[in-house]
Amino acid sequence: MDPNSKNKKKFDPSKQKQKSARYFRSTDDNQGDGANKQLKKKHSKGYERKGSVFKGKAGKGLKIFKKQHGHDDKPSKKNVHNDVEVFEINMEKVDHKFSRNIDRKRHGRKDVDTPKGRLRNEVDPFPGEQRVPANLIKKYQYGPEEIDTSTNDPEVTEKLKATEKRQKYAAKETARTELLKQDDTGFLRKTGKHEDTTKISQHDLANAVDITSARKFFELKLNDFGPYKINYTRNGRFLLLGGSKGHIAAIDWMTKKLLCEINVMETVQDVKWLHQETMYAVAQKQWSYIYDNQGVELHCLKKLDNVLRLEFLPYHFLLASANAKGYLSYIDVSVGEKVSGYGTSMGRLDVMCQNPANAIIALGHSGGTVTQWCPKVKDPVVKMLCHNSAVRAVAIEKCGHYMATSGIDRSLKIWDLRTYNMLHSYKLPAGAGQLSFSQRGLLAASMGNIVQMYEDCCTKAITKPYLMHDLHSSVNSLNFCPYEDVLGVGHSSGFSSLLVPGAGEPNFDALESNPYQQKKQRQEAEVKMLLDKIPADMIHLNANIVTEVYKMTPGERAEAKRKTQEFKKLNFEPKRKTKGRSKSGKLEQRKKGVNEEHRRDYIKETVARKRAEDRNQSFNEKRSLTTSVLDRFKKKDNS
């Protein structure tokens, strides 16, 4: 036993206060590793750490430590050996400041002596969130104002109440962001009371606006391959041109950068962008094709033959086509399968448009009627007699409330799709061959080589156009550019981009359609669109039907009960007999026999009814949709 061990005091962490710490640094690089293996750092809390951890970093580490934690005491140098320098610093003050700073960072507190700290202690004179006007909330309210939550199932009732709460919250928060929309719609202000805006030419508008807007007025002279069909992407950034003689071009019309340019050496009837600017569909002479933005052929859709018009439903990934034989087809471009196809029996289909509000396809016919179609309904859901002569053009505005039609009789009619009544009827100098609605409700109509724009023609009667422009050749296609005050016109001599103040929506939702999206954002948006894809079965004339509670009629309830009811045993009481034939065992045996016979009859009836339903369904599927008087001479199928 060491005789000096009595004088040594054992270290007790509970009684010892933290005073100081020692750090060792080697002064000789060659001997530093060996020296640090022997030396140790002794801390006042009683644990040890090898000195090699601090090799070559003691001086620098102390300077950083001083800067971060406000330590003003310089480390004192003691017991300098040949190859090791020992420093001591006061750890009590450092630990106090270190723990105080960590506590502030963790809880986000500021010193009350600073101006920010004083502001945090003041009382807010306007507590709570800012009130949003009710009319502004109603502007962004979608669906019914109140959802019918009267159901017999408590779980369904709670879900409906939660849905209603989410809808109100979404409308309120959207209305609150109205403050962030700094851009206003364009307009033309009259300086005089009797001034006519139709006399203002496009060159006058280009000279009056800023240089950025003036660059949006331009013309492309393409005399060899016209007339041209045009189409803009959903975000309004890219333009697709398709000449009837096979010329196809995709460009970024804002920067005038050409994406691709090809010639398919075949007649082009129509062109349409798909969900992104990476793919587009072309209706050619025999079949329809899908190309990418580099002009490479991706698919040949032989199911779509002799197509005259194309429409793409972005939320359902459906490509709708109308051909010269009067056949309407739907193709799901996400999986490449045909969803449905119906014969209209109304002749050539060269007038077609879609309702942006509910994805209903509207077709114009030579008899003056306009029909509206769903993918899963064989017959038209709506059939309207709009003109006494053939329909030349149909257009439906963004909200789906109004429809404009034009006929050979030189009339332009506005219809209310909520009541299917005619609101206004105008007589034009000539029959309008093309119609197009803008995002703000302006209507463009083409008559030969003249393009006229009308303002508020749906809500009130007008007497003259808003703007007018003359071209050098006949117009073949009209399309307003989304989020821009621009009207694209495809004609026999090429393409013209016209300025129309107040046509486009000034503020865009970057999560819905972003004109300035990057490659990564485009890829993420494409994945999100695929995840949010709406099935074709949900396309309905009433877009709000998915928010309503379906209630069966008494007849439907009785039919459902009859189909789902289970077999019930008869309440049969056998007649009592003599000579030991009415014992309990005999009675139960007779009851069981009667119930078994009743059960066999019930199963036979159910199977026969099911077979009859299947037979009728298969017969309806095999039966041709188009019938003719000469069908009775066809060879009958014995199968």
Q: Per-residue pLDDT for 465 more than 60?
A: yes
Reported as a single tens digit per residue, the pLDDT across 13-31 is 444 444 444 444 444 444 4
- Rg (C-alpha) for the chain, rounded Å, is 40
Reported as a single tens digit per residue, the pLDDT across 215-272 is 999 999 999 998 999 999 999 999 999 999 999 999 999 999 999 999 999 999 999 9
**Helix (H) / strand (E) containing 416:** strand 411-416
Q: Tokens for 614, please give them.
A: 């299947």
- Which pLDDT score, from 0 to 100, does residue 124 have? 73
- Model confidence band, residue 116 (pLDDT cutoffs 50, 70, 90): low
- Model confidence band, residue 633 (pLDDT cutoffs 50, 70, 90): low
Percentage of the chain modeled with pLDDT above 70: 73
For residues 378 and 625, the answer to whether their CB atoms sit within 8 Å is yes
Residues contacting residue 175 through CB under 8 Å, at least 6 positions apart: 132, 133, 136, 137, 139, 140
pTM of the model: 0.66
Reported as a single tens digit per residue, the pLDDT across 377-414 is 999 999 999 999 999 999 999 999 999 999 999 999 99
**CA end-to-end span of the chain:** 112
- Which pLDDT score, from 0 to 100, does residue 591 have? 82
Per-residue 3-state assignment (H helix, E strand, C coil) for 495-516: EEEEECCCCCCCCCCCCCCCCC
The more confident residue out of 481 and 182 is 481
227: cis peptide before it, omega within 30°?
A: yes
Q: Per-residue pLDDT for 282 more than 90?
A: yes
DSSP string spanning 244-263?
TTSEEEEEETTTTEEEEEEE
- Which pLDDT score, from 0 to 100, does residue 387 have? 93
- Which pLDDT score, from 0 to 100, does residue 51 have? 38
With H, G, I as helix, E, B as strand and everything else as coil, classify residue 543.
Answer: helix
- Which pLDDT score, from 0 to 100, does residue 439 have? 92
Percentage of the chain modeled with pLDDT above 90: 47
Q: Per-residue pLDDT for 211 more than 50?
A: yes
CA dihedral 301→302→305→308, nearest 10 degrees, is 10
Cross-strand partners of 486: 499
- Which pLDDT score, from 0 to 100, does residue 257 have? 94
Q: Per-residue pLDDT for 467 more than 50?
A: yes
- Which pLDDT score, from 0 to 100, does residue 78 have? 45
Q: Per-residue pLDDT for 348 more than 70?
A: yes
Range in 101-105, 366-370, 565-569 with the lowest mean pLDDT = 101-105
Q: Per-residue pLDDT for 590 more than 70?
A: yes
Q: Per-residue pLDDT for 488 more than 90?
A: yes
Residues contacting residue 341 through CB under 8 Å, at least 6 positions apart: 303, 327, 328, 329, 330
Measured CA to CA, the distance from residue 341 to residue 321 in angstroms comes to 9
C-beta pairs of 456-461 under 8 Å, 24+ apart in sequence: 457/404, 457/414, 457/424, 457/426, 458/397, 458/401, 458/402, 458/404, 458/414, 458/423, 458/424, 461/424
The more confident residue out of 455 and 44 is 455
Measured CA to CA, the distance from residue 456 to residue 441 in angstroms comes to 7
Q: Per-residue pLDDT for 37 more than 90?
A: no
